[in-house]
Amino acid sequence: MKIKKNSLLSIDNYIEEALYNKKFGYYMKKNPFGKKGDFITAPNISLLFSEMIAVWIISFWENINCPKEFNLVELGAGNGEMMKILVKTFDKFPKFKKTCKINILEKSNFLKKIQKKKY
């Protein structure tokens, strides 16, 4: 995206450019997560965070009367660490796992490759 001098750029376009520009986007060429990255997120610090989220998801599913189909969508899954632990936790709850369809929506092809290595 070429920005003209003195033109306005909406915040959503700014974020899109900063994070996902094919040439310069922050998430497009490197893994910013973990000890070798720029920051560490809760799922990368401890399994406990993701396990607690998994238990909450299962509890929510039970509170809505255990539907036979349940969609779980993670937007911007980064390096996929949280979903990896969620799936591992769901293995201990086969009735839930059987109903759960998992979807990860990620814009960065680079991060998609990292996510696929985790499964």
* pLDDT above 80 (res 77): yes
Q: What is the mean pLDDT of residues 81-107?
A: 95
CB 81 within 8 A of CB 50: yes
Residue 81 confidence (pLDDT) above 80: yes
pLDDT for the residue numbered 1:
62
Rounded Cα distance between 108 and 30, Å, is 10
Higher pLDDT pick, 1 / 94: 94
Give the C-alpha separation, 81 to 45, whole Å: 10
Tokens of 35: 């000890």
Structural domains in the chain? Answer: 1-30 (no CATH), 31-117 (3.40.50.150)
